[in-house]
Amino acid sequence: MSEPQKCTTLGLAPSFGFGDRIGLATPGHVEAMKRSGNGIEPIFPQQSIREMTRTQRTAQEVMDDALNGAKAAGWEGRTGADADHLKTPEDVDVTAAVGFTFFTIDPSDDVDQKADDYDEGTLREKFANARETAPWYDSYLGKSVDLPSGAKIDLSEEACMRAAVKYGSAIQRALSLGDYIKSVHNAKGDDYEIELSVDETDQPTTLAEHYIIADQCLQGGMKLVSLAPRFIGELEKGVDYKGDVDALEASLNNHAAISELLGPYKLSLHSGSDKISMYAALARATKGRFHVKTAGTSYLEALRVVARHDEALFRRIVQFGRDHYDVDKATYHVSATNEAVPTGDGLDAKKLEQVYLECWADVPQGVGFTEPGRQILHCTFGSTLTDPELGPAVRSVLESHPDTYTEVLADHFSRHLEALASGM
């Protein structure tokens, strides 16, 4: 085989991230792109530091698996490469060294998640302490911004104080990591692009917060190509969007208007797996300037291959997942509980797949999966894949049935890509 291609930056082109936690999914991702790409650019190598830690894979392995898989499947187009959820300079070092081009900065550890609930007295007290992390405060205070969408952002004292308390340190961390990414790439003369993700917060990102965060990053010289706010409604892992899609679209219009006004940059949808019901709204609101990030859903499709070819192994994985779920779910936004999902005992093979993975045949047109059982398997990927028996057994099934894995992924992601294209 000849050398795999290098990854590139994708700029403002609509893009789709195909995270793969096992390293065998890219041929299926390529097949979906060939069938239903619709002008959307792929990011095949994509993995967060959290995923690499849990699966014990290196950045080099992630890169090699994705690029070799793409080459073997005959992909001749471009691909970006997403070093996802970076929190430290060391995270940048390990991913930049192996050719990642799209760097997702995640400053969520520095976000004050309680800021939205502070009463006035507490807010003022917290603001006094956070003041020095927000040197920008006075420059926004009392202003209002008219958005092309017709909405108005009121940068009132309260809005600016809450933004300072909630995001002051996070913006500082993002800017410093952005500078570090720039210095690493300038030294090598390599191109790069940055996404900022603030999606992993308890409360939705307000328009005022989005405006201040993005404006500060851009004023600080960050090469921001995309931003992932925490959108309204519930964006849980492994299931469709939960919430009012019309209200979401109205909110997306306003977030997209900010990105047009300040950037432009793309709006990014994290936990994008299976969010079929909201894709058209995202594509419409952003006029095609979007990035969608998926990962766990390819792992679940891998388990579908296991369910169909080795039922006994799938049953073990279900039980193992249930045993590890309460610990493994800690950093993920999910609502499933073991109590609400039947154990595998007494379920026949078809019902077991339906409860823990769900089948497209059972899902109405235009929406995605909703079964809570999916979240139990979704969160326990690290424990399962690093288990000395289960991990190799899963790989062995996938390696013995590559055509099944490619076909289920191609079908699965074609549905995602077509739903996005319907709004473009």
Cite the active site residues: 84, 195
Q: Which helix (H) or strand (E) holds 290?
A: strand 290-294
Pick the closer one to ligand LHC4WPEC by CB: 40 or 147: 40
Compute and round to an integer the Cα radius of gyration of the chain. Answer: 21
Cα angle 61-227-136, degrees, rounded to a multiple of 5: 125
Look at the chain and count its residues.
424
**Is 324 marked within a binding site?**
no
The answer to whether 84 contacts ligand LHC4WPEC (rule: CB under 6 A) is yes
Taking CB under 6 A as the rule, does residue 51 contact ligand LHC4WPEC? yes
Closest approach of ligand LHC4WPEC to the CB of residue 241, in Å: 13
Q: Which is nearer to ligand LHC4WPEC, 79 or 404 (CB)?
A: 79
Residue 82 CB, nearest distance to ligand LHC4WPEC (Å)? 8
Residue among 126, 82, 128 nearest 105 (CA): 82
Residue among 85 and 416 whose Cβ is closer to ligand LHC4WPEC: 85
Between 161 and 281, CB nearer to ligand LHC4WPEC: 281
Residue 320: exposure state from Cβ atoms within 10 A (0-12, 13-18, ≥19): middle
| CA–CA gap between residue 150 and residue 139 (Å, rounded) | 23
* Binders in 213-272 for ligand LHC4WPEC, by CB under 6 A: 270-272
The residues near 70 (Cβ < 8 Å, ≥ 6 apart) are 4, 5, 26, 29, 30, 44, 79
* Interaction of residue 42 with ligand LHC4WPEC, rule CB under 6 A: no
Strand partners, 47: 83
Question: Which of the ranges 1-9, 289-297, 320-328, 392-400 carries the binding residues for ligand LHC4WPEC, by CB under 6 A?
Answer: 289-297
29 labeled part of a ligand binding site: no
- Report the run of H or E that residue 308 belongs to, with start and end: helix 296-309
Give CA separation, 222 vs 270, 282, 380, in Å. 20, 24, 35
In whole angstroms, the minimum distance from the beta carbon of 48 to ligand LHC4WPEC comes to: 3
Nearest-CA neighbor of 109 among 88, 140, 125, 134? 88
Q: Which residues pair with 234 in a beta bridge?
A: 242
The residue (of 103 and 127) whose beta carbon lies closer to ligand LHC4WPEC is: 103
Q: Is 85 in the site for ligand LHC4WPEC (CB under 6 A)?
A: yes
> Contacting ligand LHC4WPEC (CB under 6 A), which of 48, 133, 384, 406?
48
What residue has token string 């925490």?
A: 230
CB 212 within 8 A of CB 173: no
**Residue 56 in 3-state DSSP?**
coil
Binding flag, residue 15, ligand LHC4WPEC (CB under 6 A) = no
401 is in an annotated binding site: no
Q: Which residues are annotated as a binding site for a divalent metal cation?
A: 85, 237, 270
Q: Which residues of this protein are in contact with ligand LHC4WPEC, per CB under 6 A?
A: 19, 48, 50-51, 84-85, 270-273, 293-295
Q: Which residues are annotated as a binding site?
A: 85, 237, 270
